Each structure stands twice: as structure tokens, then as C-alpha cells.
Chain A
Amino acid sequence: MSESLVTFHDVSRFYGEVLGINRVSLAIPPGVTSLVGPNGSGKTTLMNLMTGLIRPTEGEIRVLGVPPNQPGKLCRMVGYCAQFDAFPKGLTGYQFIYSYLLLHGFAPAESAARTRTAIERINMVGAANRPVAAYSKGMRQRVKLAQAIAHDPQVLVLDEPLNGLDPMARAETIALFQEWGGKGRHVIVSSHILHEVDRISDQVILLSQGYVVAEGAIQGVRDEVKEQPMQILVRTPRPEVLAARLFSQRCAVEARISADGKGLLLRTRDADATYLMLNRVVLEEGLEVESVAPADDDASSVYHYLIGAEGASV
């Protein structure tokens, strides 16, 4: 089982006396996993540890069963798009990808073929022979991504990969992550853009001050946050009727009718009971309901509940 997971067992990393991460235990399954947390929460430390760029002060890490101190094995199955916007001098986009494929041990012909495929994958065929130094920020970000995927890794680690991308490139990149994750590979992404975390992630890991605050599918994490009542948005022409019935049955702790008078935002401590009650009210009152949707089981809300005010600035 651990052969298909990225595992951290009681891992701590200190930079001198400064805490990077503390006693982190994780088992990351295949799919798209987002690391979410404020600056300094330990996201990059976690990524650098799993790619072997730094070593843990304590604890044990395995990437698909391989410890990161075996770069010969690890680097064949891991691709890392690091946060640094830096490139070796004097190379074109093509040369940048090709040169590091040669270092992976591919023969020149295969390196050339893989380079072309990676460049096509990120839609940069026209700019491939231009120096990287002449690229825009978004192009540099994309060519870094191409370099990280060119050797076809099983585990793709990406530190803020959507930074600097225009909306079109952003959509294409997200599609790439989803395709990669859908093939049963690991895509581990750190991001500050919470609504995109919702779109791309199969699971999230929330970090704060070097500790893992929560991990799992977003809805599952939200369900665990018992102290915050769930929010449910119901679109209906008669929200006051619904609100009265829910209050009479003590299903809601708060209800707010929207400004257009056709929506009701409920806060409830028991979502399942509320949904049952909603069904009953619809049947008994003949209530017309356009939509029912949870309003706070997204990454942004979960982040706000668990990490708090720090999250507001993210």
C-alpha cells in the first residue's frame, strides 16, 4: 500500500532554531492534493523534503516507497516545479528542457522527442527556440512546468504553479493537473488561490505554523469542523415559509433572506436533519425549490474556519 503513497512519519524540520514543520504524519494518495496555508506555514518545506532537496531533522519520508536520500531512484519518479523564478543562463526553452533530460540519462534522440512533447503539452512550440531570459513570467512558469513533466514522473510536485499565468494558460494547466491526477499519479500542488484549490483538488492538506491542521477531501474536512454551523443556500420564491418551519423544528441556528427575497441562507449544526426537514417542508407546503447547495464546504471557508484571520489575506 505504501508503495502507492507519499508518506511522512512524524517528520520535523528545523532551520536552526526556526521551525519549518513539526511532527507531521501524512499519507498522500494518488490524485490532486493541494497544500494550503499562509506564508511560512511549511508548504515549501514539505515539498522540499519530499523531493530530497532538504532532509528532515527527525522522522521518515517515503515517496512511493523510496526514501528521498536515494536521488538515483527518487528523481526518476518525481518532477518538481519549484517556486524560484530562476533559470540557468543562456539557454532557450528547448535547450533548458533538453539539457536536463540528458542528465536524467535519456539518449539524445529520446531527450529531443520528450522535449518536443513537453513543449507541445504547454503550448509553447512557437517560443521554444527563444532564450528563456526573453520569456514573460507566465511563459517562464510554463516552461518550468514542462521541464518538471518531461521525464514523465509518477509524482509531480508544484510550488505555486499558477502564479503569473493568464486565464487561458491557467485553465490549460489545471486541465493538465486533473488529467495527470486522473491517471492515478500524484499531483501535489501548493496554492494561495483558494477557489482554484476547490476546482483542482481531490484532497487538501491545511498547514499552519508548521503543523498539519487538517487533511482529506474538502467536504470531509468541513464535516469535521463541528464548532462552525454548516451554511446551506436554498433558492425558493417563499423563503420566509421555509425559515419559519426550520426554526419551529430547531433545525437552524440562523437564517437570512437574500436581498432579492428569493433565497435563504441557513446556518445549521445538523446538515443531515436539515436536508430531511427541507424535503418534508417541500412536500407539506408545496414549496417550489430552485436549488439547494452547501455554501461553506469549499477550501476558502474551511481555511477561514481552521486557520482564521490569517486566511483572509491569502
Chain B
Amino acid sequence: MNALWMRQLAAVWRLEWKKTLFSKRGWWIYCLALAPVFLTGMHWLIESHAHSRHHSLGDDSVAFAALFQFFYLRGAIFFGCMGLFSNLFRGEMLEHTLHYYYLTPLRREMLVAGKYLAGLAAALLLFVGGTVASFLLIGRHAGAAYTSYILHGPGLGQLAWYAVTAALACVGYGAIFLMTGLFFRNPMIAGAVVFVWEGVNPFLPSLLQKVSVIFYLRNLAPVEVPVPPPLNLMVIAADPTPAWLAVGGLLAVSALLLAYTAVSARTAEIGYGE
């Protein structure tokens, strides 16, 4: 029986993976994921040819932390996951192809799991790959000093945490947007609500800050980014969450969301609004 489920799960994954990663409509997601790689690559080229060095590795480390927190976490991964995961169900409803799944004896939980894993694989490849590539490029202009920073300094640990944080962001936002794609005719509205909630998170009371994905992700980022004035006056400092709790909490919340999505998929009707 387990072998049957695994076979069915693999079949869903195969059908969804190619569709998700190589969709023509997903060009903007590649742009989001690869823009920092392009920028850090340009930075490497420009700094390598500059006569005098403008940035130290410390500057680059803070710059990357800001790029990661403000561009990747709050922008690229958020919107990229919205594009990838919302489409897994909603896209098929719009294209009138979801009934093919619903006419097979596949357990609906397996369908949700297969779609989620396919979306997650695409998201991890794009966003964890982009994060790692950007990190490796941003200090490349320093040559051997950067290699030493990575291999013998804090670089490798930072890289690992950035990769873990990006992966957890994909896990968390993926679960949210898979669910909104099943429930909402227009997932953009749900996405906008989540975006505003995540955006105002630092300005919320500390208890409310914890009801978000970004709070835990921010806690996991290895380098803190100073908030510039006057915004720093409005930021409410919440107690930091230990890494094990942030990781465990995010995984647990994602699992809960996925379970709810699976239960809802069991009772979903396929009428395409007709």
C-alpha cells in the first residue's frame, strides 16, 4: 500500500515539477530569484576592476544581510512562492484540468503533498540557489580573503543559515499560498493581506509579531540589519526566539496549514465556476 502511495506521489510530483519550473508565465519568478545574482555578479566585476577598494568584507556582509532580509525574504521569496504555489491548484482550475486528478483514485492528501513538494523543489532550486550564488559572489572581489572568510571564518556558517532561512521561507510561504490557491478565486487578494501583515510585522506588539512567518525568519538570519532612522523609533523589539523554536515552529505551522489544505481538498468540488 505504501509503495502504491509513493508511486502516486511520485507521479503527481513528476507532472507538477516540470509545469511549475518551466512555465512561460513564471518568467518573472526567475527574474526575482536571479536579480540578486546579477547584482552581486556586477558588484564583483566592478569592484575587481576598481583601482581602489570601496567595500570591506564587513560592508559586504551587512549589504548581503540587507539584501537577503529586504529583497529575498520580504520580496522575492514571498512573491515567488505566491506565484509558484497559488498556481498549483488555482492555475489548474483556470485551465480546467484539475478534474483529471479528481477522476483518479489518488488520495487527495497525496495530491496536495505531491503538488506542494513539486512547488517546493522549484522554489528551493530558485531561491536557495539564488541566495547561495549571491552570497558567494558578493565578496568575490576580495579574492583569497573571501575564500578564507568562507572556509576558515564565519562565512560558511552564515551561508548555511542563509540557505536554511531561505528554505524555511519557501516551506512557510509555500504552505500559505498553496492553501490560498485552493480557497480563493483570486489569490492575489489573500496574498496582499499576508504581504501587509508581514510588512508591518516589526511595528506590531511583540505578541502579534510572533503570528507571522517573517518574525521567525528574521530571527534565523545570521547577520542583523540595523533599521535606519526614523523607522527605528517605531520598531518594537520582541523577545528573540531560539533557533530550534523558530525552525520547529515554522515547520509545525506549515504542516498544520498543509493538513488543513489536504482536508479541504478532499471535499473540494470541481465545477470550474460553471
Contact = CB atoms under 8 A, between A and B. Distances in A.
Interface in A35-64: 48, 51-55
Given A75-B104, A103-B101, A53 B271 contact: yes
B96 A88 contact: no
Contacts of A89: 19, 23, 95
Contacts of A79: 103
A103 B106 contact: yes
Contact of B22 (A15, A86, A90): A90
Majority SS of interface residues in chain B? helix
B11 interface: yes
A103 B12 contact: yes
Interface of B: 4, 7-8, 10-12, 14-15, 18-19, 22-23, 92, 95-97, 99-108, 269-272
A53 B270 contact: yes
A99 B270 contact: no
A73 B103 CA distance: 11
Given A72-B107, A84-B272, A104-B105, A53 B99 contact: yes
Nearest to A104: B104
Contact of A84 (B7, B22, B96): B96
Contacts of A103: 8, 11-12, 101, 104-106
A274 B102 CA distance: 54
B271 A99 contact: no
Contact of B15 (A71, A82, A88): A88
Contacts of A75: 103-106
For chain A, which range describes its interface: under 10, 10 to 19, 20 to 34, or 35 or more residues? Answer: 20 to 34
A103 B100 CA distance: 10
A103 B9 CA distance: 8
Contacts of A72: 105, 107
B100 A105 contact: no
B102 A86 contact: no
Closest 9 CB pairs of A and B: A102-B11, A86-B96, A103-B104, A84-B96, A75-B105, A53-B270, A54-B269, A72-B105, A103-B106
Interface of A: 15, 48, 51-55, 71-76, 78-80, 82, 84, 86-90, 99-100, 102-105, 107, 147
Contact of A99 (B11, B99, B108): B11
B8 A105 contact: yes
Contacts of B12: 103
A51 B7 CA distance: 24
B77 to A, nearest CB: 25
B100 to A, nearest CB: 6
Contacts of A51: 103
A99 B104 CA distance: 11
Nearest to B8: A103
B105 to A, nearest CB: 4
B271 A54 contact: yes
Contacts of B10: 102
B134 to A, nearest CB: 30
Contacts of B23: 89
Nearest to A147: B100
Nearest to B102: A53
A74 B108 CA distance: 14
Contacts of A74: 105
A89 B26 CA distance: 14
29 contacts: A51-B103, A52-B102, A53-B99, A53-B102, A54-B270, A71-B104, A71-B105, A73-B105, A75-B105, A76-B105, A78-B103, A79-B103, A84-B99, A86-B95, A86-B97, A88-B19, A88-B92, A89-B95, A90-B22, A99-B14, A102-B10, A102-B11, A103-B12, A103-B105, A103-B106, A104-B104, A104-B106, A105-B8, A147-B100
A102 B8 contact: yes
Nearest to B12: A103
Nearest to A51: B103
Contacts of A53: 99, 102-103, 269-271
A71 B266 CA distance: 9
Contacts of A73: 105
A31 to B, nearest CB: 22
A153 to B, nearest CB: 10
B97 A87 contact: yes
